[in-house]
């Protein structure tokens, strides 16, 4: 190879592999609730139980060049729970559990984003359930597909921290650990 083409080849390789910071930066906004999911699992009497929430709204302002400046908010309609049966759904809306008459929604609002590298982030924010707010850290993986960003994350919370399952349910056959998974889909801006 001719020495005069060496600098051009190096520059082309440099750009092709995205080594220039910000060349492929993308902004994501407006969570699409139809394409997104929130699910949870817990153990009850030795069996794994799976459930979902079907109604929620999300707001997102995320720029891959400046993840530290990102902001996210999620509001979940707790009456939209599906824990596998109408009896379970009705029970979970009662005062001992979510008490949806008094606390109809759960919210999560970010207070900081941290870039962990390799499209992984940690979102720290305030989770509010039943009027109790706790700071939680949520690991998230960002996958870009067809002009949308897919934010996959999971979180384990202790239901007793939020007074979920009080009274006769406090020391029950329902596990204290609840595993929450989410998949938030947001279009590129």
Helices (H), 22-162: 86-92
Q: What is the residue whose two structure tokens read 């910000």?
A: 22
Domain that holds residue 98: 25-187
Produce one character per residue of 116-142: b if its CB has 16 or more CB atoms within 10 Å, e if not. eeeeebebebebbbbeeeeebebebeb
Q: What is the residue whose two structure tokens read 């030795």?
A: 46
Q: What is the CATH number for 149?
A: 2.40.128.110
pLDDT band at 14 (very low <50, low <70, confident <90, very high): very low
Q: Is the per-residue pLDDT at 70 higher than 90?
A: yes
Instruction: Tell me whether residue 143 is in a domain.
Output: yes
Could you tell me what percent of the chain has a pLDDT over 90?
Answer: 70
Q: Is the per-residue pLDDT at 4 higher than 70?
A: no
pLDDT single digits (tens) 122-173: 999 999 999 999 999 999 999 998 889 999 999 999 999 999 987 766 667 7
Instruction: Tell me whether residue 3 is in a domain.
Output: no
Q: How far is CA 44 from CA 115, 176, 181, 188, in A?
A: 36, 10, 18, 40
Instruction: Tell me whether residue 74 is in a domain.
Output: yes
How many domains, in total, are found in the chain? Answer: 1
Query: 178, 156 in Cβ contact below 8 A?
Result: yes
Instruction: Tell me whether residue 53 is in a domain.
Output: yes
Instruction: Tell me whether residue 14 is in a domain.
Output: no
Q: Is the per-residue pLDDT at 117 higher than 70?
A: yes
Could you tell me what percent of the chain has a pLDDT over 70?
Answer: 85
Instruction: Tell me whether residue 6 is in a domain.
Output: no
């Amino acid at each position: 190879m001719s020495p005069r083409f060496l600098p051009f080849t190096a520059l082309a390789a440099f750009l092709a592999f995205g080594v220039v910071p910000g060349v492929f930066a993308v902004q994501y906004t407006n969570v699409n609730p139809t394409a997104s999911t929130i699910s949870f699992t817990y153990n009850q009497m030795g069996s794994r139980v799976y459930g979902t929430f079907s109604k929620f709204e999300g707001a997102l302002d995320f720029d891959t060049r400046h993840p530290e400046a990102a902001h996210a908010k999620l509001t979940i309609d707790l009456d939209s729970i599906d824990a596998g049966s109408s009896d379970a759904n009705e029970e979970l809306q009662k005062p001992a559990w979510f008490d949806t008459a008094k606390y109809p929604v759960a919210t999560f609002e970010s207070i900081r984003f941290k870039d962990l590298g390799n499209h992984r982030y940690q979102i720290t924010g305030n989770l509010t359930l039943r009027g109790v707010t706790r700071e939680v850290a949520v690991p998230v993986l960002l996958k870009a597909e067809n002009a949308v960003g897919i934010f996959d994350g999971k979180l384990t919370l202790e239901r007793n921290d939020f007074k979920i399952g009080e009274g006769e349910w406090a020391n029950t056959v329902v596990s204290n650990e609840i595993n929450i998974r989410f998949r938030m889909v947001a279009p590129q801006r």
